Amino acid sequence: MSEPQGPPESIYSSPEDFQAWLAEVRTRREARARSRALHEHWVRSLEQLREEIAAASAADDQEIAAELGGVAARFEALRSGTVELDAVAVQASASRTVATAGPAQPAQQAPLPRRDPAEEAAAQEALKSALQDRLAAVRERVASLRAARPPGGDMPLATQHAFRLRAAAAQLGAVCSEATRGRVDASLSGETGAICDWLDIERDLVGDCDACSLFERDALRLACAMVPPGGWVALAALYDQTADALPVLDWTQANVERISSEAALRMLNAVGAVQQLLYRRLTEYNLTDRLQVDLYGRIKDLGKTVGFVRALSPHNSEEELKALADSLMPAYEDLRRSAEEEWARQEKAARRAAAVSAVLDLVRARPALGQDPRSLDA
């Protein structure tokens, strides 16, 4: 996955290049819209198939249930990405060719296991109860964020707060994703909607206006069906890690003239690795967030003063980025401690030098000082 790229410079001077670039952007937008629509079709089809399978099983029609189950399995494979659509189309085409060559043979499929309705209802109630507990934890986190809201005008803290809100939204996404898969999402919609409202209000209060898929209800609903619960949990952890990295970037930027270029670049690479891991995860799930794009720009701009930030390269492996990201806080603590100790020594030496200089100036101004004891009283 590549890093965010801006438009080519030539679009500002060439009408032809601008039109070509605009056409390419439209093509990408349309392709993304088609992809989302296709995924939504798969999810809705799966929901309908599950209902039909349950009805067929209740009627003890195993043949129909098996046929529906085979189709549902294929839709699930498409949704989870374990098979490609083209491969399915080729296989379907081959099946039609065989059908024209002779009489169709009934598919041999194992009958679906029947589940007792009471057992299924009990399982759904247990899942609903567990998810309600997790929703309560998300509510508590949102409440703690509201209590820790930074004062107005403190942009660094507000930005960090905005990333924490995204982490909470991703935790909510994990619950919604599991609820969708367990078919209890409708019964939890009121609670999840209330948390979404609180997040929206908190964003407004800290001036977080950046576009983000996690706060767009329709996009979030579709993403909950597409992204597995574990993916949301990982995304929440990455948002928290990004929030933790912001003070490091702020400190590095504030002291870039006082620390070595090597030390500053080491910090930028570690922070950049955190940003890239977040960016890659968002891209993997077809999610967008302008705030992390702005963070990328900050890192890249600061890197222009100290050196190339290799962590921002798309050629780094996931393992390399994780190693860099994990080294961030220990490296930052060591650098900050050693830098502050050195600055304290420098300040102490500067005060000593200033005191000696003041004494020398006094002696030069009054050469007789110290020769006549009475001059000390003057």
d(CA 280, CA 159): 20
The amino acid that residue 12 corresponds to is Y
Is there a single domain that holds both residue 96 and residue 170?
no
Least confident window among 13-17, 93-97, 113-117: 93-97
pLDDT digits (tens, 9 = 90+) for 159-212: 999 999 999 999 999 999 999 888 888 888 899 999 999 999 999 998 999 899
Is there a single domain that holds both residue 246 and residue 357?
no
d(CA 287, CA 234): 14
153: which DSSP letter? T
d(CA 97, CA 67): 20
Domain tally, the chain: 3
Is there a single domain that holds both residue 193 and residue 55?
no
Residue holding tokens 């806080």? 329
Is residue 279 in a domain? yes
Q: Are 213 and 197 in contact (CB under 8 A)?
A: no
Domain of residue 260, residue span: 123-326
Coil vs helix vs strand at 289:
strand
Is residue 150 in a domain? yes
pLDDT digits (tens, 9 = 90+) for 287-343: 999 999 999 999 999 999 999 999 999 999 999 999 999 999 999 999 999 998 888
5: which DSSP letter? -
d(CA 78, CA 373): 99
The predicted model scores a pTM of 0.66
Is residue 113 in a domain? no
Is there a single domain that holds both residue 159 and residue 87?
no
pLDDT digits (tens, 9 = 90+) for 55-97: 766 666 767 867 777 777 777 667 665 545 544 443 444 444 4
